[in-house]
Structure 1
Amino acid sequence: MVAKQLDEETVKKVIRQVEFYFSDSNLPRDNFLKNTITESEDGMVSLALICSFSRMRGHLGLGDAKAEDVPEDTVEAVAETLKNSTTLKISEDGKKVGRTTELPKEEVAIEQLDSRTIAASPIEYDVKLEEVESFFGQSAKVNSVRLPRHVGDKRVFCGTALVEFSCEEDATKILTQSLTFRGAELALKPKKEFDEQRAKEEEAESTRRNMLQNRKNSPQEEEYPKGLIVAFKLKSTTSEDPSVEKGNEVKLETEGKPDSMELGTEDKKESSPENEEKTETKKLSADMYKDNKDVVLREDLKSVFQKFGTVKYIDFKMGEESGYIRFEEAEGSQKARAAAVLAEEGGLIVKNYVAILDTVTGEAEKEYWNMLRGQEKFRGNNKGNWSRGGGKNNRGGRQFNGKNNRSRDNNNSGNRPNKFHKVAAA
């Protein structure tokens, strides 16, 4: 069988490439190849494995072939080619390759390598190794060129080329020159300085990745503030039914209303054509009830709870039996709960009622904040058309399905609010 022949250009590329693999320039930092040599009994490496390396596959036209797929005639042709190298040796069976000299100690080899290597930038992302080698080869003999990957994205070139010369003197000489590559003036520095900057960038990238991972692994409850909310339920301290005001048999429409409402006829029916007399409707403000001990207003709640800390918001409608107090700091809610527990009445006195407090934690707290943020988002998407409740006659505020949720009767007809007591507290 006639041995496969490699053309002259391929021969040059193969010799140069394999010499580089086993050189003092590459071997000290090539852990895979270095370990392969160490594990072998004779310090040599399979030629089929060498032929399966990326750049060798390109030179030999092997596509994506693995070591076991490299044809025997290709291995034989490469073996014959490498016999012309002065730094490599071929095994007797022609299937292995190795160095002719012993590799220096690793720390010595790396120190020597760094001393004759310079870093050059900026180099455009689409540059080829051969182009950089040819450019610097005009000034001195180049042993190798490396194009390190970007710290944050290993898929792309970082923009700095590492050029190794044959000796330290050549590298030192290059550093003093003013060179322009592809129209850009190059910044040249020793490899040691590049390594120091690279180490800082890698540390920063590692910190950034750790922060992102920690955020990803953090429990969801960290996404909202804790301990600001306290729930309350009003309990009457009197046995008198406050549903009817003394001297006034008119019931107030208060359920689901803010601290102002309408007072009028029970059903607000339109007058018939024959009856031209119109029903008179008067606006009643919260001021009318500020001295009424049977009607609890937001201001009444605020005057009680602000003793424990800054009250950020009071989620309560006049006529309802429960609500929420949101403090600016968690310390305020803690003090309020502690005071309620210690009180003889079992809660905080608000006019003729005792406000029984309970904590809002866990899923209930999370649901409250999700509800609140959802409404804020809705408000932002409906500027000019947003109201606290459903419509003109349905002013129900924030609804919450967590612990101590306020109850509402939604069986209204004609979108009219229910007729309800002045204060519906039990």
Structure 2
Amino acid sequence: MTKEETGTNGHAAAEEEQKADVVEKTAPQEEGQKEGVAEKTEPKEKTQQQPADVAEKIVYQIEYYFGDYNLPRDKFLQQEIKNDEGWIPLDTMLKFKRLASLSTDKAVIVSALKNSQNTFMEVDESGEKIRRAPTHPLPEQSEEELREKALKRTVYCKGFPKDGSTTLDKLLEFFKQYGPYETIHMRHFYNKEEKRQGFKGSILVVFKTEEKAKEFMEMPQVTYEGSNHLLRKWHADYIEEKKQEIEERRARKEARKKKLEEKHSEEKEALENIEEMDLPRGTFLHFSGLPEGGESTREDVKVALGEDQDKCAWVDYSKGMTEGYLRLKDEDSNKAILEKLNGKIKVNGVEVVLRVVEGQEEDEQLKKMQEARFKARINNSGNKKRKAGGRGGQHFKKRRT
């Protein structure tokens, strides 16, 4: 019993059932945030309450526990009322935290119930037990039917201060002016960083009748504490909006995933089935001997070829590496170049050893070159499509029309 019921305070089992009923099951479980009712214990008001005010709150609280909205959902109370013809000891009721916060004096609770007009609760002769009067039985409806009916008189309101000044007691008092209601749910989220619950600034109000809920919705404007204009929606509409948002996010995510999978599949298939290009052989030279972590670049390696640098098509090397590959333009030219350079070149004053690449090593370099060309072609094709579909493409079309 460490959490406060929404609009009331009760046993933990009752809270869980209440949460299960009102939670927006369609809302995302993103980035430590959950939709639904996650209540926290509100601090007691320090101001002195009048006895009549306390009595009114006690009656309201107990009627909520045993009312048509909560009792069918409260597994704990449902089990308890089977034990003694519906009677519940006040000692048990005082375990409900919110009731206990109003008064722990059983005489005060009994007096409040006995002096209340038109309550459906009754007190036994000993003054130690209470129950819902047998003359006021629960509606014979399934939990699903009760949930559907409650949804039709539930309103979502947003626009309350999130600075901690909005308390459940304030909300209970504020909504009295709009007619009888069964409960108010303050909506919270869990802040993982601060490890505490935070108020979302929105609530659910369950009115006692659909008519009262409709009257509230038809009001031109509802203002809280003078300056906060409340956004109001039927809870059913709010749930549908959330469902739609989730479906749209899911559809976008699936579309991105599918597009990525198709791209990867096309690339993989193309790489697996790529035809051998008519690439010249005898064009690779391997070089080694550069200092590890050195500053030499591909251009430095190419310049080291001297008058033969224009015969070099590509240098496979990154700054800081100790070795790499030279690819020449002309077929079967690597041996002649190697002989001409006496098997070595000087790169930034460092003597580097050259050797001919052939056999399996040459096959691997040709395959690597083949894949690089294919990927470059894929990327260039993608860039052209993006340009055609971007602002430039649209602008070009407009100029032609």
Larger radius of gyration: 1
Of Structure 1 and Structure 2, the greater helix share is in 2
What TM-score, normalized to structure 1? 0.44
What TM-score, normalized to structure 2? 0.46
